[in-house]
Amino acid sequence: MSSNPVGVLYVVATPIGNAEDISVRAIRVLSEVDLIACEDTRRTGRLLATHSIRTSTISYFEHNEGRRIPELIARLRSGETIALVTDAGTPAISDPGYRLVRAAIDAGIRVTAVPGPSAIIAALAVAGLPTDRFAFEGFLPSKTGERERMLAELAREERTLVIYEAARRLPRLLSELIAAIGPERQLAVVREATKTHEEILRGSLAELAEIFANRDALGEVTLVIEGTHGLKKAAVSSPINESRVVDMLREAGLSLKAASAAASKITGASRREIYQNAIRRDRK
């Protein structure tokens, strides 16, 4: 594709769902480069076949970055052109890519973007919340202490928040957010964006927590959450505990049974014990 003595690394955005959401330029670049480095060769292969692209692919994902980067840098140094893609969306944005981009820059290799789909931008565009300033947090930490500290920080964030979460853990996250920032904060849950079964639910944390307490969330989920700008700053003090979580969820309108189930997922305590403790507290 290029006669330069040193190649070019193209960071190419690919569809997040609908295969038609790919630019003309992206199709051309993917067709003309010498190699495509992709998170999953099978998944990218299906996209390439859809657009009749026959370029060779090589795997590049989180667990092989260390050994793959020197090989790719060497090929770029020799004059080859390489396109970097992930399974969906824009590489290096909560996906593999940053380390290769940094290594290419350090090696004096040209890095250029072929912009396109991003789950973050797609969700922001349809959420109906302020977009002039926003903070992208990706996936929250999984360890309890780190997670609680992050939630406490986010409770004070003025900007609109964008968070990723696995669908199976969505009820837990909504419950934690209620406990940390209150039940009235507005948000949008964007599920399966641009796909056949796309779903966008908007409302308060309390309303959406009740919905997802009663049914499973499937697919890929992006949350867009109202910041504190224009709101009374959320008071965050003591760490999240089962009693506080249950009380917040019940105040938000959930039944004791549903609140106990959600609190159990958050704290790891027995749902039965949480339920019985709440009944005892009610009797006092």
pLDDT digits 0-9 by tens, 137-178:
999 999 989 998 999 999 999 999 999 999 989 999 999 999
Among the three residues 117, 150, 172, which one is the final residue of a domain in this structure?
117
Q: What is the pLDDT of residue 56?
A: 98
pLDDT for residue 238 is more than 70: no
Residue 1 counted as domain residue:
no
Share of the chain above pLDDT 90, in %: 67
Place of tokens 């704290």: 267
Clarify whether residues 88 and 162 are in a common domain: no
Domain holding 37: CATH number?
3.40.1010.10
Clarify whether residues 86 and 110 are in a common domain: yes
Among the three residues 75, 95, 117, which one is the final residue of a domain in this structure?
117
Local confidence band at 42 (pLDDT 50, 70, 90 cut-offs)? very high
d(CA 274, CA 126): 38
Clarify whether residues 142 and 270 are in a common domain: yes
Local confidence band at 234 (pLDDT 50, 70, 90 cut-offs)? very low
Residue 49 counted as domain residue:
yes
Clarify whether residues 153 and 90 are in a common domain: no
Chain-wide mean pLDDT for the chain? 90
Residue 2 counted as domain residue:
no
Among the three residues 84, 117, 150, which one is the final residue of a domain in this structure?
117
DSSP E strands in the chain: the ranges are: 8-12, 35-38, 57-59, 82-85, 110-114, 134-139, 160-166, 186-191, 199-204, 220-225
Residue 37 counted as domain residue:
yes
Place of tokens 């922001």: 124
Residue 41: in which H helix or E strand, if any? helix 41-50
Domain holding 162: CATH number?
3.30.950.10
Clarify whether residues 181 and 198 are in a common domain: yes
Clarify whether residues 68 and 143 are in a common domain: no
d(CA 103, CA 185): 41
Place of tokens 């958050």: 266
Range of the domain at 66: 8-117
d(CA 265, CA 54): 46
Task: Say how many domains are in the chain.
Answer: 2
pLDDT for residue 46 is more than 70: yes
| Pairing outcome for strands 160-166 and 186-191 | unpaired
**Span 251-261, average pLDDT:** 80
pLDDT digits 0-9 by tens, 91-142:
999 888 999 999 999 999 999 999 999 999 999 999 999 999 999 999 999 9
Clarify whether residues 53 and 168 are in a common domain: no
Local confidence band at 225 (pLDDT 50, 70, 90 cut-offs)? very high
How much is the CA Rg of the chain, to the nearest whole Å? 22
